[in-house]
Amino acid sequence: MKKTDNMIKKCFRVVWPLIFVVLITILYAICIGVVIGLIYLSIYLYPEVFYGNIVAVFLMSFINFYKMGVILLTISMQFLWIVVFYRWNRRITHSKPETSTRFLSWKNLGLIMLLAVGNHLLISGAMDLLIPHLGKLGEDYIDMMNVFFEGNVILTFISTIILAPISEELIFRGVIMKKARHAFPFAVANVMQALLFGVLHGNIIQGSYAFVLGLSLGYVTYKFESILPAILIHCMLNLLGSYLLYSVPTFVQILEVILGIGIIVYTVRILNKMKPYVSMDIN
């Protein structure tokens, strides 16, 4: 019984950062909704007063700001997570988060980019092959992605290519992976953080390929003793997946999957020869 209790405590410590993210996100969205609701209620009840002062003008600007779409809410949340989880990383490690630059050589940068390309080919090819056969699930996924990318191109780029990789890597390959590594062997810890990374995406399709990607990002973080390579890979993958879209025949999609797997296996074999760090300082 005691052993079971200890295991539950260890698992909760790993999962807690994700629970924290979800709770604060919900609270943040509720607060925004309440503020906008109160503003509209004021307009309805006191229209002659509302449009006659500078506070009202500011509040209407606030509404118009958020009318630009969910992308602005996403960006504001991403900034929040970067600040919160950067500090959380510092507290966990009793210093600055891992920013080792041992990967800064042409060979290692090449391996990082190669791993990004391999993951992109695998995920892109597999999604192109599977989505047409997933019925409504696939249609809902396509509609969701179209809605997200219908907004302002610059804001979407900032959110998807810059802020998302930084914030998500600080959360998952930063805090969550450190806590998991403290409690479990690397293989178990890597699967746990990748699984939670998939869960955060909130749907089966995104969650599935996020899990696969999370395994690679966790592995490269482990090998390079830093989350910076994972951030670079994440940025490149989001760029390839968001702005370099293309339609290819089925046989090419199959080749993408095969080539992607081959590139990943080749890269991992080289990375396996590198000496990883073996301990982390955890509170």
pLDDT tens figures, 153-171: 788 888 889 999 999 999 9
Asked if residue 283 is part of any domain, the answer here is: no
Of 21, 41, 67, which one is at a domain's C-terminal end?
67
Task: Say if residue 176 is in the same domain as residue 48.
Answer: no
Look at the block and give the residue holding tokens 């590139």.
263
My answer on whether 50 and 141 are in the same domain is no
Give every CB contact of residue 96 below 8 A, 6+ residues apart in sequence. Answer: 89, 90
Q: What is the pTM of this model?
A: 0.83
Task: Give buried/exposed letters for 142-180 (b at 16+ CB in 10 A, else e).
Answer: eeeeeebeebeeeebebbbbbbbbbbbbbbbbbbbbbbb
Domain assignment present for 280:
no
- Whether 87 and 199 map to the same domain: the answer is yes
Question: Would 238 be classed as within a structural domain?
Answer: yes
CA atoms of 72 and 67, how far apart (whole Å): 9
102 compared with 110, residue with greater pLDDT: 110
Q: Are residues 171 and 147 in the same domain?
A: yes
**Euclidean distance between CA atoms 246 and 243, whole angstroms:** 9
Q: Which domain holds residue 229?
A: 70-271
Asked if residue 193 and residue 158 are part of one domain, the reply reads yes
pLDDT in the model for residue 148: 63
Is residue 282, in this structure, part of any structural domain at all? no
Is the domain of 123 the same as that of 166? yes
State the average pLDDT for the chain: 80
State which of 43, 67, 91 marks the end of a domain.
67
From 49, 67, 85, the end of a domain falls on: 67
Alpha carbon distance 199, 211 (integer Å): 8
Do 49 and 142 belong together in one domain? no
- What is the arithmetic mean of pLDDT over 127-141? 82
3-class SS of residue 99: strand
Lowest-confidence segment of 92-101, 155-164, 198-207, 240-249 by average pLDDT: 92-101
Q: Look at residue 86 and tell me if it is in a domain.
A: yes
Residue 109 scores a pLDDT above 80: yes
Assigned domain for 276 exists? no
pLDDT bin (cut points 50, 70, 90) of residue 278 is very low
Among 93, 112, 91, smallest CA distance to 102 is for 112
Residues 4 and 116 reside in one and the same domain: no
Same domain, 111 and 51: no
Residues 179 and 260 in one domain: yes
195 pLDDT higher than 90: yes
* Residues 137 and 221 grouped into a single domain: yes
Q: How many domains does the chain have?
A: 2
Contact yes or no for 242/153 (Cβ under 8 A)? no
143: Cβ contacts below 8 Å, ≥ 6 apart? none
- 27 part of a folded domain: yes
DSSP category for residue 132 = G
Q: Assess whether 61 and 78 both reside in one domain.
A: no
Q: Sort residue 267 into left (φ over 0), alpha (ψ -120 to 50) or beta.
A: alpha
Give the C-alpha separation, 160 to 151, whole Å. Answer: 12
Asked whether residue 279 is domain-assigned, the answer is: no
